[in-house]
Structure 1
């Protein structure tokens, strides 16, 4: 049986169409994917993201342990700053991508993907044991609810619920404080490419936060948003989806996360990544535009002669913002050059695609 977030009844009352995702029952859309996507790009939308996993870590060895677990150097991370990074296994494969918040000098907060949460926490515990680290590590996933307010009017709406100076919070930064009278962590961040806030608060107070946000949203035509538009919004920005664009079969050197690999420190998987770097990458993730069809996850990529399979599509959609068929695919490095053409098998037809720069969309 899939798990339910604390907002399950609210989704049903809003006629949310429910699907299973990452072991959870979640709304894929309420009205239409297009309406919800455009609401976030042009106004403001509300997402239930309570399925995500959250861990807390506190203690004198916290920084050293995190440095061991993740590929990115977090030694200079400021209080209130959040960093996106990945953790690798010994072979250099990606276990998960995650965000790391530094709340206090020795206190950190982590957000991981829902489907990978149990194995992620087991990996954290394994590394803590291997290092004999003096930290308190806790899985707070089932105590923590999460709502994301995203879009150009997210700031004006959220301001109505808090005395926190939201204008002072820079992108990829956050703070602890009261939102709707509840103890919360709030950060200026999201998975949409728009301005917005991710709000974490007690699971058992979820109804209070939901009601407060909807009341505050009355003057903004706030729209509830589902997984469908969350996917199109993130894909336009070329944000990674675990299990599609990144997985244990690929290293961070092969995709956008290469910029978050710091070889100036030790971490699990470093030796494997150095070896891969020296040998050369077998394939890399590229953005593409495809003509004459929509490419979907798992579709095969071929060279120009349509005979030799060279890769696979990891994500693809018709972009509601750009009105183009876009996607991501792993291909040999020689196809990573902008403008390079290849073919994608869309059902039984070969459609021409070309490599383009990512992100496809960036807020001006």
Structure 2
């Protein structure tokens, strides 16, 4: 897959090392999707997914990789920590991959559309990882790929919409013209909307029920028109790109851990395969955590709450390393949490821009990132590094700045007080980083997901069988 522009390893060598390449990258932060930023305003759009129902446009910010052939399931089995037993057609899984050292590459949603056909949907790292192994592993598969809109010219191959919220089923019932059938969580069915066949996945984000709809792009206008018409009388709100990315703050999903393929011997062939003009070759790294050792940015799947997904019923890349983590107790060392930032401290940091002198780093709203991969130090009251804050933004539902974070297990008890270091410790050439000073912001540890319903109720919603 190398091109005339070289490969990822060439880019690393030209920069001097991987950390420098990422830290000095000129790529902008991903703080919105190529969808309309706001249809009304992002505060009302956030609140609508708890009050009525919302329509998410997921057609533009994710990559699609379609895998078809006799070895499609074998490819997935060999690269996924997941079990692939009893995987039904029209069922989806949260595919999770690691490298040989048991460090997280990332996750995506993997649909089984037919017995021998699967479609992976997500941000590029695991899409590239699957495509690499399909291309180099001798698998009998055919693939097609569609990049996110920011990495492609023209329209997507498929549309992807989601309706969710307390009133979602009312909207969907009217759109399909009949009662919504019982469908298990993360299982699928097919609906007819506006005369078009639509794949539908029983889904839910931030604890509210819903379905995700997928079909060919040429059917988009008819399908979206019918959904909008059905939603109008039920108070459905269309969510723009700015609010969309904050949904995961409440649902507790960590969308962008740094994929563990920028260093290490086991991923050297992957770096030589990935073109230097690929999306993953041009991303940026920022935040108050600054370390030349990229392993300080990597996670185990156990760190981010994927332990329940790991199944040792098959051989897969990284299995031995994960088994060793379990045996040694490393799998219990860290825990994913939500940090609720202290309002007074946030107000003081934000307000510093209205006073003379160098102030705190500007806090973007509603997503606060200023790099593709954002890592802030979490410290104890004694100033010790105890965790990493990786996904930060404002929730109008919680009236708070929140961050999805990973902390040492002994600090994971809800109510524990910690401090987040906001701002970079050293100058960089990143365009989004102005002259500023670091500040300490108090935060309180809470569960991830933060929303109780997301942790306990929505998989057994009355419209589904758990």
Q: CA deviation at 1:322?
A: 3.2
Q: In the alignment, what sits opposite 1:258?
A: 307
Q: In the alignment, what sits opposite 1:126?
A: 132
Q: In the alignment, what sits opposite 1:351?
A: 441
Q: Deviation digits for residues 262-291 of structure 1, max 9, x if unmatched? A: 123211222333344445266543322332
Match of 2:55 among 46, 56, 61: 46
Secondary structure of the residue aligned to 2:223 is: helix
Query: Structure 1 stretches of 5 or more lacking a match?
Result: 1-18
User: CA RMSD for the aligned pairs?
Assistant: 2.9
Instruction: Tell whether the 8 Å contact from 1:85 to 1:257 is kept in structure 2 after alignment.
Output: no
Change over 3 Å in CA distance of 1:124–1:315 after alignment to 2: closer
Instruction: Tell whether the 8 Å contact from 1:300 to 1:312 is kept in structure 2 after alignment.
Output: yes
Provide the rounded CA distance (Å) in 1 between the counterparts of 2:119 and 2:452.
Answer: 28
Q: In the alignment, what sits opposite 1:340?
A: 416
Q: In the alignment, what sits opposite 1:323?
A: 399
Secondary structure of the residue aligned to 1:29 is: coil
Q: CA deviation at 1:74?
A: 1.7
The structure with the largest strand share of the pair is 1
1:151 aligns with 2:227: no
Provide the rounded CA distance (Å) in 1 between the counterparts of 2:190 and 2:54.
Answer: 23
Q: In the alignment, what sits opposite 1:15?
A: none
Change over 3 Å in CA distance of 1:132–1:72 after alignment to 2: same
Q: CA deviation at 1:32?
A: 1.7
Secondary structure of the residue aligned to 1:37 is: helix
Provide the rounded CA distance (Å) in 2 between the counterparts of 1:46 and 1:155.
Answer: 12
Match of 2:381 among 304, 309, 320: 304
- Larger radius of gyration, structure 1 or 2? 2
Instruction: Tell whether the 8 Å contact from 1:192 to 1:230 is kept in structure 2 after alignment.
Output: no
Map 1:12-91 to 2 at 5 A: 21=30, 25-51=34-60, 52-91=62-101
Number of matched residues? 339
Q: CA deviation at 1:200?
A: 0.9
1:92 aligns with 2:123: no
TM-score using structure 1 length: 0.82
* Structure ranking higher on relative contact order (CA contacts 8 Å, 6+ apart): 2
Q: CA deviation at 1:165?
A: 5.8
Q: In the alignment, what sits opposite 2:219?
A: 205
Structure 1 range deviating more: 353-362 or 38-47: 353-362
Q: CA deviation at 1:346?
A: 4.8
Secondary structure of the residue aligned to 1:184 is: strand
Change over 3 Å in CA distance of 1:97–1:20 after alignment to 2: same
Q: In the alignment, what sits opposite 2:317?
A: 268
Instruction: Tell whether the 8 Å contact from 1:30 to 1:224 is kept in structure 2 after alignment.
Output: yes
Secondary structure of the residue aligned to 1:85 is: strand
Change over 3 Å in CA distance of 1:330–1:218 after alignment to 2: closer
Change over 3 Å in CA distance of 1:23–1:346 after alignment to 2: closer
Change over 3 Å in CA distance of 1:346–1:127 after alignment to 2: closer
Instruction: Tell whether the 8 Å contact from 1:162 to 1:181 is kept in structure 2 after alignment.
Output: no
Instruction: Tell whether the 8 Å contact from 1:103 to 1:176 is kept in structure 2 after alignment.
Output: no
